[in-house]
Structure formats: C-alpha cells, structure tokens
Amino acid sequence: MTIEDLALQLTPRLGVKGIVHLLEVFGDARAIFAASREELIGRAELSPTVADALLHRSGFAAAERELRYCHKHQIEPIASTDAAYPQLLREIPDYPHIIYIQGDPAALNGRLLSVVGTRSASSYGEEQCTRLIRELGERIPQLVVVSGLAYGIDGAAHRAALSYGVRTVAVVANTLPNITPALHSRMAREIVDKGGVVMSELHSEAKQKGVFYLARNRLIAGLSAGTILIESPASGGSLNTAAHADSYHRTVMAMPGRPTDRQAQGTNHLIRTHKAQLISSAADVIEELQWDLGSDPALFEEKPATEQLTRDEAGLLCCFRTSDPLSLEELRDLTGLDMGNLTALLVGLELAGKLKLLPGNRYMKRCD
C-alpha cells in the first residue's frame, strides 16, 4: 500500500466505480498519478474537473492525515493491488480500492462463508445458526465466518464462531476503531484477539450519515464463496446482501422456517422462487459450494465446478443454479454476452455433456 493508494481514494469526486475504472485502465495508483491530462481525459474518459483534481494531487494532504490516523489507532489499510487484499472481494465489479482492518489479514483469504439474517432473531433462529456453524467448523478446515456485527443473527454467527474456534470477519458500516452497535465492542476485540478481522471500507474523514449499511452488505457478499440466510422477514438488510451475492454469481443459501413465522417470510420466499438453495446442515452447504473434503478433512481441496472447461464456459455454467431451463434471452441478460459468443459457449458446453438443448432454444443443466 502506497500513499498514492490512499490519495486515490481521497481524491474529491472520484467514487468507488471511478477508481475501479482507473485501475482497469492504468493498473495501479502510481500509474494513475503519473498519467498526463490528455491520458486522463482521452484514455480514461474522465471529466476535466476530476482529471485536474488528480493532476493537482488534491487527495495527498488527506492521505497523509489518514496514515497518521491509522498508525495512532492500529488500523491497517490494504489496497486492492496488495497481496493481502481478499481475493474474492477483488473479483466484484464495485470493490473498494482500500479496506481498513484490525486483526490478522490472513483471515481474509481463508475459506470464507457469509452468514446473515434478521436483527430480530428468534431463539430458534439463533440456535440453528449456532448449530450450523458448529457443524461447519468441525468439517471445514480454515473456515472463516463473515457477518456484519449487528444484533440478531449476525451477532449469533460471530459468537458461535468464537465459541467453536472458527475465525470470523466482522464488516462494519462505520469508521474504525469505532464499533456500531457499541454493545458489540467487546465482541469486536475478541474477534481480533482470536485471529479474526474487523473491517471497514470507510476512511476517517467519511461523513457518518447512516447510509453505509447497504453498501456494507455488498462487501459481506463479495468476500465469500457463498452467503447463508438464517431468518429474514419479507424485507430487510439480509435480503439486500443475498441480492448482492446473487448479482456476483455467488451461491445463495437459506434455512427454511415455519410457513406461519413472519421471521421466515423472506428466507422462505427466496427458497420458493429459486433465489436461494435450501440448506439445513453443514453437509448441504458443502454440497452447494462443491467443496470436496475427501476422506481426510486435512486434505481439503476446493472441487472445481467443471472439468476441462474454459474459464468462460465454467462461468456460464454457474448461471444454471437449479434444474430449471434457461432461454437464450435469459442467459444473455445474466451474462451480458453478445449472442454470437454466448452461442459458441453453449455449443461447447453441449459437446462437453454439461448442458442439454431443449425445444424453444432453452438449455438445461445435465445432472448425470
């Protein structure tokens, strides 16, 4: 992480997606600040105002202050171009260039699994959350549980992880070292003490307006291979996290609840509409994520989604989350591919025996 990385984040009028775009064009923060005005406006298509802010190095004074703040509070900033940056988070289209952490950064590249749910959790929901994490911890080496340190299911997930020796990552929607809710400050310290991480994307000069919770949810979804929902009413933040996970083509799972239980309306709806896979045990989670533990958990290896497929073919195959067929139009909308490239990939998957062509130009994943 360099001073240029912090300055890039702190440059006025340059948001998350703008920084992602610049990194795609120039590669790293130093190259961005070394670029000419012509390159910034012509090659990167920035407005003259933003280009001039970069050329005048408008974010450097704030970056120096941020470094001093981080040193004072024992906060570690990590840039997206650093080796310690979470690999899965770097794959989402709106990743933050800088994350701020307290704890062991190695936890950010373990076997990450997000567990979220309602703040108004029932005793049944908390019990199921605890049971599931205990089972997962027993079966999956290097497991790391990710959640949002909120009341309810989030807190239950962190507590269960701490109780059963599983590292955990708490993603907060405020500037470190503060913790919201304050009653979970002690839990945050225990997370760090036991090898986990408390993490935020917010620098010390971010204005706290209570609008960062939905943005925080994308990080919870983006950090992990899959997201599990345990209790959610018909609306709520955990459904927003599930939507982010789905948009990133990550596996979404949900534990079912009683049909008459308001706290299960959201999770039951996700299952009924095939937006989430029904799970009730650690074995279900392992199967959905295609994690192959083998006969010896110490030899844990992640099972590849397909064999002898190209990266594009494997990505397309991930769109088939259920046994329901998908039309060409649906697949085009899901992937963003043009029809020519999409058709070529579909033919390749047919020849590999992974897809079956149905009448009406619909495709179904083969289960055999």
Q: Which residue type does 169 have?
A: V
Among 141, 181, 144, smallest CA distance to 160 is for 144
In whole angstroms, give the CA distance from residue 9 to residue 98.
Answer: 7
- What integer pLDDT is reported at residue 363 of this predicted model? 85
The closest alpha carbon to 141, from 14, 302, 319, 273, belongs to 302
Spatial distance between the Cα atoms of 293 and 300, rounded to a whole number of angstroms: 5
| Residues 251-267 pLDDT 10s | 999 999 878 888 889 99
* pLDDT value of position 85: 97
Average pLDDT over residues 276-305: 71
Q: Do domains 105-292 and 311-365 have the same CATH topology?
A: no
- Short-list 290, 214, 285, 286, CA closest to 253: 285
Q: What is the mean pLDDT of residues 357-365?
A: 80
Structure tokens, 211: 């609008």
- Pairing of β 326-327 and β 362-365: antiparallel
CA 185 to chain centre: 23
57 contacts: CB under 8 Å, gap ≥ 6? 7, 33
Q: Please give the class, per CATH, of domain 311-365.
A: mainly alpha
Of 23, 25, 56, give the one whose Cα is nearest residue 42: 25
pLDDT tens profile 17-62: 999 999 999 999 999 999 999 999 999 999 999 999 999 999 999 9
Residues 295-346: pLDDT tens digits?
444 444 444 443 467 777 888 888 887 778 888 888 888 888 877 778 778 8
Cβ proximity of 24 and 80 under 8 Å: no
Mean pLDDT of the chain: 90
Helix (H) or strand (E) holding 63, with range, is helix 60-73
Sign (positive or negative) of CA dihedral 152, 214, 102, 205: negative
For 224, the token pair is 């992990």
pLDDT at site 301: 45
The closest of 227, 255, 225, 256 to 243, measured between CA atoms, is 227
Q: Count the Cβ atoms, other than its own, within 10 Å of residue 79.
A: 21
Average pLDDT over residues 159-174: 96
What pTM, to 2 d.p., does this model score?
A: 0.78
Q: Could you tell me which residues come within 8 angstroms of residue 287 by beta carbon, excluding any fewer than 6 positions away?
A: none
Q: What per-residue confidence (pLDDT) applies to 53?
A: 96
Q: Where does residue 307 rank: exposed (0-12), middle (13-18), buried (19+ CB within 10 A)?
A: exposed
CATH architecture of the region 105-292: 3-Layer(aba) Sandwich (3.40)
User: Above 80 in pLDDT, residue 293?
Assistant: no
pLDDT at 222: 97
Q: Rounded to a whole number, what is the largest CA-CA distance in the chain?
A: 65
- What residues does each domain of the chain span? 1-73, 105-292, 311-365
